[in-house]
A and B are shown apart, each in its own frame.
Chain A
Amino acid sequence: MSVKSRIIVVPVFNKIENHVAWVVGNKVSKHDYRKYPSKVIHFDFSKVEPKFLKPYHITPLACLIHEYQQQGFYIKVRGCSDAMHTLLSSFNFINFCKGESAVIPLQKDKFTHPLWLIKQLENSSYIDAVTNYFQNTFLPNQDLFAVGNALGELFNNIFDHSNSKIPGYTFTKFIPERNQIILSVCDFGIGIPKKINTYLQKIGHEKLSSTDALKHATELAVSSKSQPHNAGRGLDTIRTSIKSLSGKILIVSNNAILWIKGDGSEQLVSIRENFKGTLFVIWIDTTHLPLTEELTEEISIV
């Protein structure tokens, strides 16, 4: 007699709130072991067309699957059309579901640096690999400091503050027809608003709403002081750098969403579900990247 295995249907995510609710509702902590005793989980993509599966859906999905894998589940992908299979393969998603995510992945699609399990000791070499690849292949005259800096700040944030039980996932994609680089980083830690509020309460301040705490975290020199060297510049550095390039940022953490749009305006949205973790998505218009110039002569900095 075969034991019943669970099928998790990936729907069309027409709103970020719906995506968050789906992720939260399908976390391994909510798995019904009595109803589904099998250690196999099927992720069914038959209800979603590739055009509705956006790059920013991929990293939370990877974190979700990693949690199941960590608990000894085997992941199977089903219901993929050829087009969906091609899309998921471009992120190395199919192999990742087979548990092949531990190695730095090879590119299956020349425009995508696929899913990578963020590893603290390999962060610098990964960032070098990504920036060198995109520069050498597509953008030889442009300075990719903003891309490397954003990845570095976000990786540091995960290891310094998130308390995530899994290290988190990232990918970077270049879309030539839009002159756009998209990077996405996701962890399943405690979330930025919760971290900020824990610190504020520790120093005797009042707790903020999730949206206010998230906004607060992106301001200069705001820090949860969770590491001795932490001076709270990371998120502000990203915000300043990406805004100066008219780029866009989406942050989803706990019950808050922060959109920083290309025109510099910012929109905070409160959401019902608590996304325990942080999802960052950054869109950079490559035509706004500065040109690589000659290196500086010796200059004094003090």
Chain B
Amino acid sequence: MDKTIVIKDCVAGTISNTEAVALKIELQNALVNFDVVTLDFSEVKVVTSSFLNSSLGEVVSNMGIENLKGRLNIKNCSSQLASVIAAYMTSLKNVKLQS
């Protein structure tokens, strides 16, 4: 089963660590309960490294990148936003699973 998380409906903003916490929780829950999760970035123009660290970064750290292969998608991003997210995820490939 698949699940879509609409970012703008999930978080108050896409700038700070604090704003990312809601996405981290929702994404982590979705990955436990669904096979594939898609993050819908409609109307999101900007993200920061702090926001990515405290959402996607935390989830990768908690669940392990190996356990997410083929299970995490994005859609409705500008090309610049998509490339930033893709580069960020690439940078996490060596992140170790948090014990």
Contact = CB atoms under 8 A, between A and B. Distances in A.
Contacts of A229: 17, 50, 53-54, 57-58
Interface of B: 12-17, 19, 38, 41-42, 45-51, 53-54, 57-58, 65, 68-82, 84-86, 88-89, 91
Interface of A: 120, 123-125, 127-128, 131, 143-146, 148-149, 152-153, 155-156, 159-160, 221, 227, 229-231, 233-234, 237, 290, 292-293, 295-302
22 contacts: A124-B14, A124-B15, A124-B16, A143-B78, A145-B45, A149-B48, A152-B46, A156-B16, A156-B48, A160-B17, A221-B91, A231-B49, A234-B50, A237-B49, A295-B42, A295-B77, A296-B79, A296-B82, A298-B73, A299-B73, A302-B70, A302-B72
A120 B41 CA distance: 22
A302 B57 contact: no
B41 to A, nearest CB: 8
A152 B42 CA distance: 19
Contacts of B73: 298-301
B20 to A, nearest CB: 8
B43 to A, nearest CB: 10
A293 B49 CA distance: 23
Given A156-B50, A290-B79, A299-B82, A148 B17 contact: no
A234 B68 CA distance: 25
Contact of B71 (A123, A233, A302): A302
B42 A230 contact: no
Contacts of B47: 149, 152
Contact of A156 (B15, B74, B78, B89): B15
A300 B54 CA distance: 20
A186 B1 CA distance: 48
A159 B80 contact: no
B84 to A, nearest CB: 8
Given A146-B80, A160-B17, A302-B69, 15 more contacts: A124-B13, A124-B16, A127-B15, A149-B46, A149-B47, A152-B46, A156-B50, A227-B17, A229-B54, A231-B57, A295-B78, A296-B79, A299-B82, A301-B85, A302-B70
